[in-house]
Structure 1
Amino acid sequence: MAHIVAEPCFDCKYTDCVVVCPVDCFYEGAQMLFIHPEECIDCEACVPECPVEAIFHEDNLPDEWKEFVALNAEEAPKCPVITEKKAPLEGPSCNAKK
C-alpha cells in the first residue's frame, strides 16, 4: 500500500511534502502532484507537511476520492520527479490550513 495525493491538491500543488520525502516518490503534474505507489515506503513524513491535507494512506482515502489511487499510479510514471520546493499554484479551490 502507498500514500495517495487526492483532490485537495488540484490547482494548489503545494510542495512542502516533497522536501521531506526520503525516497523522492513525488512527481509533478500540470495541476497537482502524484505519489508513485511502487516507490512510496509509507513513512508518512509527507502527511503532516501538506497544508491542504491532500495526502492519505490508501486505506484511509475518503470514498469520494478513491479514483485518485489509479490516477496517482497512472500519472506518476508520466511526470518528472520533484524534490525541491516550488511556489504553489494557489488556485481558487486552494485553502491552506497552515
Structure 2
Amino acid sequence: MSYVITAPCEGEKFGECVDVCPVDCIEEGEKMFYIDPDICIDCGACQAVCPVEAIYHEEELLPEDQVYLEKAKEFFASR
C-alpha cells in the first residue's frame, strides 16, 4: 500500500511533500508530483504537510481518484 497524490496537486509547485519523505519516493512530473507506490513506506509524512490536501492513502481513494494511482505507476515505470 502507498499514499497517492490526487487532482488538487495538478498544476501546483509546492513540493513540501518531497522534502519530508524519508525514503525519497516523491518526484515532480510535468503536471504534478507522484509517489512511487513500490517505494512508499506508508509513513504519512507527506499527507501531513500537503498544502492542498491532495494526498490520500491508497485504501482511502475515491473511485474517481483511482486513476491517480495508475498515473503514478505509469510515471515510475517510464523511468
TM-score (norm 2): 0.92
Root-mean-square deviation over aligned CA pairs: 1.2
Q: Work out the percentage of aligned pairs sharing the same amino acid.
A: 43
**2:72 paired residue number:** 72
Q: Which has the larger radius of gyration?
A: 1
Distance 1:62 1:42 in 2: 18
What are structure 1's unaligned runs of at least 5 residues?
80-98
**2:47 paired residue number:** 47
Shift of 1:25: 0.0
- 1:55-84, CA deviations, whole angstroms, 9 ceiling, x for partnerless residues? 1100001222111111111113436xxxxx
What are structure 2's unaligned runs of at least 5 residues?
none
Shift of 1:14: 1.8
TM-score (norm 1): 0.75
- Which is helix-richer, 1 or 2? 2
